[in-house]
Amino acid sequence: MYRYVARAPRLGRTLATHAAPAIPINAETRNRAWAREEIQDVYDTPLLDLVFRAAAVHRQHHDPRKIQLCTLMNIKTGGCSEDCSYCSQSSRYATPTTASRLVELEPVLAAARKAKENGSTRFCMGAAWRDLAGRKRGFERILEMVREVRGMGMEVCTTLGMLSPDQARQLKEAGLTAYNHNLDTSREFYPQVITTRSYDERLDTITAVRDAGISVCSGGILGLGESDEDRVGLIWEVSQMPEHPESFPVNALVPIPGTPLEGNEVVKYHVLLRTIATARIVLPSTIIRLAAGRNTLAEPEQAMCFMAGANAVFTGEQMLTTPCSPWDEDKAMMSRWGLAGMRSFEQASVARKEGFTPEVDVPDATLQASVPK
């Protein structure tokens, strides 16, 4: 085990030859309330200076050698009534995705066991629904999935659309670690992407999840046609939550034939990197998840994202409906760059919500707790 010296970034431009002064790390610095203009100033920093500053913040709050490996399974595909313009699972669009029923329990457990054997410590399950209304039997099956996967000693995440407070409570009692509900983009640009669910409805679900004691996973998608100001707006929005989200997924749009955004250009790499670095500075203790579109990045590009503060990836056979980098490739890449996978419940904020007492040298860096392996 080793210790880092906590160093704080300057508010202004930072040169690579100047180290920032050391400051103590506490809850206030983790959950600072940022003004939107401040975040815009951070985002507009010259890119290499921005990455340097983000790397310094990353080392304050995380072990920079650790990457969380997550595996995502689509447990109910297609047929969704929402009109998310990026999604091939909407019933409103003619896409290659075929609708299917909720899968049975055993295929999910087999996928979770395979993921664990390959080094994944978080198993995520996604269902293409607007909400769980009228799905009592399906929800009961999902609760059993959560209980069984949690019993394997893995972190468990679901994304099931909108939740009521009671549904969130039941998921927590079943052992759910985290719930994913992305805001997707800024409040201002959001109506250009989705009209069937309001921004505030998304925030209401996040509130229900947080109040139930479940870790919040909420981020966005780049390449929807948004501006730099919208990317800043997304980061600002999550920074205003009562607690910063446990994780912030950064997705690069994968244009899918048949969706309204099928003709969108692939997001530029420098935009992706700038967004990751800005999110790391504004959300210092949050896990930054390099999500959809990562398979299109060259290895050095991924390494720069890790340098800028990304510290989780989705790995395995595929995402929900888009390609994913396989386990063997990811583990070989991590070995070449001196990176290692996180253990389950290693992030201190997750451990606290799970009832463990983290004993750490640096917050969110190394957890010593009695958890199932």
Among 30, 53, 87, 122, the active-site one is 87
124 carries a ligand binding annotation: yes
| Cα dihedral: 89, 95, 97, 101 (round 10) | 60
340, containing H or E segment: strand 340-341
217 carries a ligand binding annotation: yes
Among 70, 157, 305, 324, the active-site one is 157
Among 70, 217, 305, 324, the active-site one is 217
Among 70, 84, 305, 324, the active-site one is 84
Is 70 in the active site? Answer: no
CA distance 229 to 186: 8
- How many other C-beta atoms lie within 10 A of the C-beta of residue 101? 10
Is 124 in the active site? Answer: yes
Is 84 in the active site? Answer: yes
CA distance 287 to 309: 8
66, containing H or E segment: strand 66-76
Determine the residue type at 251.
N
Among 70, 124, 305, 324, the active-site one is 124
Among 30, 70, 80, 210, the active-site one is 80
Is 80 in the active site? Answer: yes
Among 53, 289, 294, 324, the active-site one is 289
305 carries a ligand binding annotation: no
Q: Where are the alpha helices (DSSP H) in 240-324?
A: 269-282, 299-307
Question: In this structure, what token pair is assigned to residue 64?
Answer: 């920079």
49, containing H or E segment: helix 47-61
Residue 111 has phi, psi (to 5 degrees) of: -65, -40
CA 30 → CA 33, 137, 242, 343, 365, distances in Å? 9, 40, 12, 22, 14
Binding-site residue numbers are 80, 84, 87, 124, 157, 217, 289
Residues with a known catalytic role:
80, 84, 87, 124, 157, 217, 289
Binding-site residue numbers for [4Fe-4S] cluster are 80, 84, 87
Binding-site residue numbers for [2Fe-2S] cluster are 124, 157, 217, 289
